[in-house]
Amino acid sequence: MPEIWNLLDENGDKIGKTMCKGEPVPKGLYHLGVDVWIVNSENKILIQKRSPHKRNSPNVWAMTGGSNIKGETTLQTIEREVLEELGIQLKVQDLQLMKTYKTGEVWLEEYFVKQEVELQDIVMQEAEVCDVKWASFDEIEEIFHNGQFIENRWEFVRDWIRERLEK
């Protein structure tokens, strides 16, 4: 059964119409995406390499995220995506909203959470993820500057994350 997404207007408000995943987003409209940046006690950020089979941005590093399905809250979307892609039960009660912005055909909500995760406990969903690692802020900067990090994400949250890591 295909995912059903709510359509949003230029302000990020639901317009009462939906679309199926895989369909083109109607011109001038958007759908909601959510990302989570998981940070451990060593101030390293959990990143995942997107599967080479992904239609959009294959073989690049990214945070965990996905599209909001009709009927879900954004926190439910994050919880579902992290469980599906990494097999991790996320502490959604600890999530902090960093930023909301639009890019391309997506309104994005970016979240931050401090949580310990053992890499050996991760169960990667092969269709979505082919590698995971803990990376420092500087490592992600280098990956980003080398064009190996998903576009339109890191550049929008890096200052917020840097500020939190320096505390």
Number of domains in the chain: 1
Can you give the chain as a three-state secondary structure string? CCCEEEEECCCCCEEEEEEECCCCCCCCCEEEEEEEEEECCCCCEEEEEECCCCCCCCCCEECEEEECCCCCCHHHHHHHHHHHHHCCCCCHHHCEEEEEEEECCEEEEEEEEECCCCHHHCCCCCCCEEEEEEECHHHHHHHHHCCCECCCCHHHHHHHHHHHHCC
Cα 105 from chain centroid?
15
pLDDT value, residue 88:
95
Rounded to two decimals, the pTM is 0.94
For residue 26, count other CB atoms closer than 10 A to its CB. Answer: 12
- 1, pLDDT greater than 80: no
pLDDT tens-digit series, residues 31-51: 999 999 999 999 999 999 999
55 lies in which domain range? Answer: 33-165
Per-residue confidence (pLDDT) for residue 166, from 0 to 100: 81
Q: Given a cut of 90, is residue 84 above it in pLDDT? A: yes
Average pLDDT over residues 7-17: 96
pLDDT of residue 2: 84
Query: Can you say how many angstroms the Cα of residue 135 is from the centroid of all Cα atoms in its chain?
Result: 16
> Stretch 139-145: mean pLDDT, rounded?
97
Contact call for residues 5 and 68 (beta carbons, < 8 A) = yes
What are 111-124's pLDDT values in tens digits? 999 999 999 999 99
Q: Residue type at 12? A: G
111 occurs within a structural domain: yes
What lies within 8 Å, CB to CB, of 146 at 6+ separation is: none
Has residue 17 been placed in a domain? no
**CATH code at 75?**
3.90.79.10
**At 11, which amino acid appears?**
N
Q: Residue 26: helix, strand or coil by DSSP?
A: coil
Res 17: pLDDT = 97
Q: Is residue 103 part of a domain?
A: yes
Asked if 108 and 35 touch (Cβ cutoff 8 Å), the reply is yes
Q: Is residue 41 part of a domain?
A: yes
State the average pLDDT over residues 5-16. 96
The pLDDT-based confidence of 63 (bands split at 50, 70, 90) is very high
4 domain residue, yes or no: no
The percentage of the chain sitting over the pLDDT mark of 90, rounded to a whole number, equals 94
Q: What does the pLDDT read at residue 56?
A: 87
Q: Is the pLDDT of residue 11 over 90?
A: yes
- Is 75 among the domain residues? yes
**129 located within any domain:** yes
**And the tokens for 69?**
């399905």
Q: Is residue 140 part of a domain?
A: yes
| 8 pLDDT higher than 90 | yes
